[in-house]
Structure 1
């Protein structure tokens, strides 16, 4: 082994780069033969070649380049291996403005440098790349070199992927923060065993008040919670790792003296090892709903008392579960006790045989989807327990689902026996008088029996003549209608015996139930007689004809023990009236007078019932309106008190020269104003008029970016699947609202699967045809992007589906849920030009479809490039026209424009604004309120752009009812900002528009 080989041994073992250095012609470079290299360079190269970490060396006045195998993987084919031994300024010319000063610092003996995640773009693999590095430049000593530094040792790591991942993570965190910030429910993130606030959203501040939360523990930030149990619950969740869900829990806060009710969840957050490191808090303020529920209980009790007082029965038939629900009043009409369990079979069995067919037919017509008639019938019932026949007036209707199936029938029932009794008395008395006045006694009695049968609600009435003198019935003469004998069975005529004669000899009118119980020697006759006495009622009417005492016997197939007292009394009255008619042949005038009185009483009673029903409906309507307006007024008065009170104190302190603590009162006024803004935003959402910021949206990436958030929200018991369709169209909507809608639906689905299950979020292109649009008034025809959220939970029945999108409607137990989520989602879909619908059934899970209109443009078609900074230069003379009828708002806007350096022109209404536009004055931007009286803001803008086509317009609105501002009808150069807005937000928006 020669000396040259020994002198080059420091290059051995260096992998590919060591081999390249050995083979390199160093004699042709300023360094010359490696045998003559300085020892410090030889040592540095030896260390570099045998190190697995990327290292680079610049050496000598020309900064010749050396690097190891680990480094060559980062520089690409453009510099490997050609850069070995070449001057650094030539190799790294494109980035020398960045690294050159750093190298010069080290070579000049001014110490090492350190750079972490520093952007140094380089060209590699044929393209320019943004590459991030963490690196240090350290001196390599050489006593013979200027400043004692022979070269620079570069120890580096490429951190591009790490930086990009962190940037993506930060963007995701920021996106989630924005989404959480505007979420309808309150959210907070607590970390550590002391529950230190890391994040709170606007809704949390709206409830707890503007305080310094971040970095403080719950006990420090909310000391008034002491003794209310919240601290202990947080400690338990953190120590056990078990989720806690609370419904309608009371809380008292220092910002509000009244008691609030909140639904909330304490969800433990775990690290990669599974240890709890914090708690995610989410929930809703349900004070208004809780009070409404308590009021609803009072209203329900009021309704029950009212219906009971009005003697109205309620009935409800659920065909899904095949159950019948009757109120106690309804049960009484069918002769059941209040605690009895009734079925549809009981209903049909309780109908009188003569009314059963007609009543069933009317009921079936109300349930038939092709007919859907109103169920409005009168029928007789035969009491189950008491056997009493009652006349019932029932009304109701069937409820149908989207498929046309009747799933429920509801209605009311009123006992109208009194009215029917009066009608029957009237008709019977008149017709009986006419009948008995004729000469054909048998025919007249036959007709009279039919009338009596209708009155008593029976189908079989028999009659006969009893001749007390002869002490017998003459079958050949007396049982002429053919019905009497079947009613009595085989009771012989002589069974009536002399007792009848004796009891009737004084001319009495009696109802007889015990005249057939004399024992007879014949066993068969005894049984027949007993049966007749037990099961039949007999009315005996005595009268004089041709000087002889005669008797008409009426036989009714209803047991006498089931007669009501009023029926018995009427029987006696009929007997007396019949006798008088037969004897005098005149009774019509007296009967009409009697029935006129009865009819007047029935009409008065009916009028009272109708008045009670109307009063009840009006009371419920006014109660609901009063509850809503009272709640809003209460909340706004509290907020206005915070604003006016704080400003009043600021004014006083300024007058007294006490300026030290003004910030506290100003912050209080701003906090109350922000809460008022949040309240109006919720009210607009409930009325489906919330302001939106519609832009082209690619739904698949948006849903995909939410996957991690959704998995954390759903928990381990719910399996999440994304079924995203290829080639999905663009839509145009407010992306933040869409994210909130999807998150809301996922949370609803999770709550519907308490034992876990599967959740599928899918997307697809959907065409809504003309036929479907015609069948569903809320579904516009055209192309839509459909987002579906499907769960395997408990599902909904048809009635719940029909009401699911109603504000404040919820199927959750009292105190759980606000009933606002689906209403806001439906409102968002409708405002965006789309629609929403639900497909569900009990036990089959639920799918909520959110369909948004297809957007035909490009994804970035509406993005404006502001590219401006806070200190952008403002062109001299730029002028803004402000059209606003509210003086305070107009003055604030003008003040902000002045601070920005713009010249502002004021107009108090639309016509004066148009006059200014028609003048020769320079106008670079028009700011106008949408809701101007007379000539509105959109009309002012259209008139202005007709004269100045390139004029930029910024609309201000506090009530987004104009479709032009929410459904995509804004022209190029037009923007909108919703009230209330901060002055900073207005300044930023004005700068972006003018300087774009």
Structure 2
């Protein structure tokens, strides 16, 4: 039975997820398989296995190969998922049937399973043919008779894996190729090669280089004669216009037309244009145009692959550019090195001549009789001679080096007793090592055969190595060994010195290389000594090496072949007798000795007499220089000028001396062992006690850059060697004077600070006194509300102990209704604004609430607030306002009651007379009595309307209003109202903004103000109506209640009448306030105008002076959008003259009104007009009628209904009857007066209303009108 079918399906195919539910719901009787109840057990079993499996499976069964699948297979179906179940398999997979159909047929025919791994299939599962890969097996399914009737496919989609591996392989090959690319051309070749391998993902691709001459870096998939490849400049420019998302190929321009298909059967339809980034620059190095695979979607992985491919290109280009720049730099350095060698060679030759002419006369002077020179003069000559020899040594080293590098070194090899010669050279340092407290161990054993060496060169080798060991060995020993080993002479110079960092060993023998931070006896040195040793040893066919451990010492080993067979025969000469080393070693030994002590004082400056230093400008100078001659010379100059000088040999000693006794000035060399001049300067500036000591740096580094570097590091002055005595003394004097001025200024500033601190302390005491004694609560809090400090008044005002509130949020104490306003005000303060007046309610410790008035200012990360308890003040104000209201009610009772009694008398009297005349059969006066009653009723309705306006409860229809046009349209009416004795002037501003308000109410307000002005000018005068744009700021808003700051349209009415005294101005907007006698006014006119302005979101202000006149200004909110062209809004009224009331055509109107008389009236009117009227007495009854089946063309409902108001009824009705038109009727509806009350298809009419107006409104809405 049909009723059992669902349960049968549930039994046969339980579970199975979404596909199981679809299978159970499918109408199988309409397929070739027939009802499920007739399916063979093998089929149902196979289907149940498939549905329960979490592997992707599909199966085909029966003559039509009906299609089944499980939930895991649904993603493979894509858009076919909605209809595939139960369809023919050859229809489901029509696009791949040529590939899979023969396989299925084979399974059905042979009963043997098939197997395919990562088979390419073009599935149309997303609306286009898509490249996919699948590993699957087709297995036979047999019925009860053993006949193969279907097949089961277990499949795993491999698309992401196959394509991902393909892309990864392409990127890996690209990265490997880029690692070896050294030029832009090689980068292009690598890119082209990888594009050739990866053409399935990038069937067509071009890489362009940008710049002044755009070029094609690489391309694939199209020939070099293609327009895009042949015109790279134009093609690159066109491509750069299409950066970003994929674009159709046609958008790239005609150069990219007719792209080839590559490995696919159709060309790319879309391309991706990606900039090739240029390191460190915003302008790209080029652009890559990728023709996309037409059989793959451009998903995130595809986009990422292209981005990575382009990123590899950018990296390859950056590396190639860097390699090319490094190659050019290496060539430039090599050229610079060659130029430097030539320069040193030339300069060294030029130096030797003047040095000879200097050293020769000095030697003669020193060799003269001792009595010929006094002691001071001899010291001067010795100083000059000693430093001349040092300069000669350096010049000789540079010249030797330049000759060796140029291949012009002429070594003269001769047989020597190398052991004796080496021992003599090393022993010349004995006096220096003894003075330094070092052990010099010289052990040179005789060699079995002579060694052929150039004596002068070997001398430089030994002296450089021993001098170097002495310089960097501060304690311990120096051992010099010479021995024979395996036909070679081995010289080793070992020390227990500082050692050399391992990282520096490979570069130790490079020219001009110096180990940074080496703590030797002196920082002096050219950095060519060891390089010269290496070159000299190589000339002898030998080698030199070094072993060193930092902090343990170093061993230099020189290995020379014995004999002469390894030497050029033309450079060998016979042995000379007695080679002496005294002259050549003297320079090395004397220089080493000068590293140990300061020696004699330096000579005075012979060229310039030192300028006497004025009394009071002398000071204690700390001098730091590793050169003893320089220390002695500068120390004597400063001492002779009256300064007290302490001289030290390095920066560390200078820092220790400064900390022992702060100097007035520090004079330091830049290059020193250990702590250099810059290090000393930094240490002084970091020491608070020494930070103000002036520092002058001395340096041999000339040039503006060196001076700027020194001053930028914090030095007060920078003096470049060589300098004159006068310049040195002048710099010292100037810096001492400046230091004195700075000290005096610092003392004055300190005194000022002490005075200010005293004043601050006094003010702080006063502030603390106010904090303690103030009766107002004071608060310091973070901007998140956490209170950090509270004054004692909190206990007196709110009953809380301040300590109990610290750490809590002030929002914990704020009344829940005031939370949002308080948080908003705190955010304003956090943004830097000051709160002048803000009130909220705080919870007292007893649970009651007190009203506090706050003033608050922002700090850096806190707000500071003062709050005054105004609870009693506000209660008094409320009581006063209540008394005013009661007084106003009394005035209303007199004035309104009188007016209503008059109106009711007219109505009742007219109706009584009408009734009497009708009984008498007299109908000639009926119309006159009816018109009199209606006139009184209309005047009563107008009075009620004014009461609603005052109460801000009348429904408004706010629309954009052109106030200028509205005023212009009222000029005739206002003029007639004013009479002949009052002139009218309009001052309408150009460019006036649209105002957002109810145009009808604005007209009434203007007319009301004109009438008031007329009454204030009994003897005539002038009335001016003025409009202009204004922007109200926060100050105005704070002074006028809750007015919001912003843009407004100001409309002002000014008269030249009697004016009002201040006490009347203050109460002019109060309800029922009037200066007229009882019965001559209700006191609602200005209240109605004020209520209209406030209800519109604006404001009203009165300015008046007795005897001069009054100005009433309305501020109406600006409408942000421009006005639409069209006539101004007009008041809704009856058309002039008689008009025919429109009749109905049998439409159905539902009337919902809880007042029986009104409901009966509306129903009678509708029926008289030809409508079918339904009625309901309240909201639930109306809703029941609306939910029924009867046709209803219009809903007419009161707004204020019991149980369910009119808007709720309309909303519920529209859920059942979408598009139902609704006409609201209201007499006093608070909700109806709110903006946004009316939705599309809704209108409102206000009680009381004329019957004709009701009829026309109903007719218009039924025929298609809307609100």
* TM surpasses 0.5: no
TM bracket, shorter-chain basis = 0.3 to 0.5
Q: Which has the higher Rg, Structure 1 or Structure 2? A: 2
Task: Tell me the TM-score normalised to structure 1 length.
Answer: 0.34
Task: Tell me the TM-score normalised to structure 2 length.
Answer: 0.27
